[in-house]
Amino acid sequence: MRATKTALRLAVAALAWGWLAAPVLADDPPAAPTTPPSCQGLDLFGPSAVRPEALAQAEAQRAGQLDNSQGLLWRIEKAGRPPSYLFGTVHSTDDRAIALAKEAATHIQGVNVVATELGGPLDKFAMAEMGAKTMVRALAKEGDTLAVIGAPDDLALVEKYLATRGVDASLAHHLKLWFLAILAGTPSCEMRRQQFGLPFVDDLIARSGKDLGVKVVGLETVDEQMDILASIEPSLAATILLSSVRRPGFDENFYSTMLDYYAKKDAGEILPLLDASGLLTPQESKAEDEFTALLLGGRNEIMVDRLAPLLDGGPVFVAVGALHLIGKGGLIELLRARGYGVTNLW
């Protein structure tokens, strides 16, 4: 399954890992309060960019992978138990995404537990602690992590691009490739918005639960997520890193396009659209396939295992990245396989 560069990094607590890195390496915040930036970008998949026949072929090739891709809020039911709710998030501060989260959060009233990927809500100290943990795992004191890049021109391009993200060359050569790939692919406008303390969707859900006196739990830990990132092979991370640095502006444009589709409650459609656009080379597509398998992989099964006892004692409000919901291996189908009825609300 081909992954979307920014979508996965934001939607799988990377499109999501980026906010863990942001407090550590993002540009310095403004000296005086100003209006938070608005993330603007081009629509990568307009009528002139994707041929209808190419899109139809891409959708056919993804048969089964787009199941349940339309809709963000779902009701979970089982005989004799009150209904629970499942909400697909995007790890973003976007105003439209926040508005959808606020609408979904009205269903928190009356539940026993709110479950998100990492629990929360996360204050500045928690964010700083996670950022510090990220840096500890990302630093490589010995050796040159960028040696795998090889070609001098590519290496110079990487160094130049990372400098725009606040990482000078001497430090870049001692940061692991998985970290650099994610940092390079995280939209700088989203980094800047988070520096203003704007809420992101997942934390808004967690905070809504806390404000209502509802217990908030995490379905994963930061260490578990870090372990997955640390397992990314350097050669794979290098391909993804180069994909970003060779296309300045692509990730910003893709992020904007992704949010447009999320706001339309059709987050999954961006997957075949990327396939049909031909924006990635075959090597990049293969790398994104592997990246997807690693980041989504067994996480959905683990989440369902941990969610099941919560549902048994329900009702529960669950909020995880939207791409965790879709496809035959997504949470919706895994819950149905365990005897739950899962119905789309919107």
CA dihedral of residues 147, 152, 158, 164 (deg, nearest 10): 130
DSSP assignment of 218-263 equals ESS-HHHHHHHHHTS-HHHHHHHHHHHHTSTTHHHHHHHHHHHHHH
Asked, for residue 32, whether it belongs to a domain, the answer is no
The domain tally of the chain equals: 1
**Cβ-based neighbours of 19, under 8 Å, separated by 6 or more:** 91, 127, 186, 190, 194, 200
pLDDT at 153 over 50: yes
User: Does any domain span residue 237?
Assistant: yes
Q: Residue 124 belongs to what domain range?
A: 5-27+48-344
Q: Within its chain, how far is the Cα of 73 from the centroid? A: 17
- Which residue has tokens 């075959």? 282
Q: Residue 58's pLDDT band (boundaries 50, 70, 90)?
A: confident
pLDDT of 24 strictly over 70: no
- pTM: predicted TM-score of the whole model, two decimal places: 0.88
Rounded mean pLDDT, 307-322: 95
Q: Is residue 40 part of a domain?
A: no
DSSP β-bridge partners for residue 320: 88
Phi, psi of 341 (to 5 degrees): -90, 130
Q: Pick the more confident residue, 38 or 72.
A: 72
pLDDT over threshold 60, residue 11: no
Nearest alpha-carbon partner for 271 in 327, 335, 188: 327
The whole-number pLDDT of residue 22 equals: 42
Is 34 or 198 the better-scoring residue by pLDDT?
Answer: 198
Examine residue 215 and state whether it is found in any structural domain, yes or no. Answer: yes
Residue 35 lies in a domain: no
Q: Can you give the pLDDT at residue 254?
A: 85
Residue 252 inside a domain? The answer is: yes
Residue 267 lies in a domain: yes
pLDDT digits (tens, 9 = 90+) for 258-287: 899 999 999 888 778 878 888 878 788 777
φ/ψ of residue 221, rounded to 5: -115, 160
| From 167-176, 288-297, 312-321, the region with the lowest mean pLDDT | 288-297
Is residue 115 situated within a structural domain?
Answer: yes
- Is 20's pLDDT higher than 80? no
Q: Which of 5-19, 127-141, 318-332 has the lowest mean pLDDT?
A: 5-19
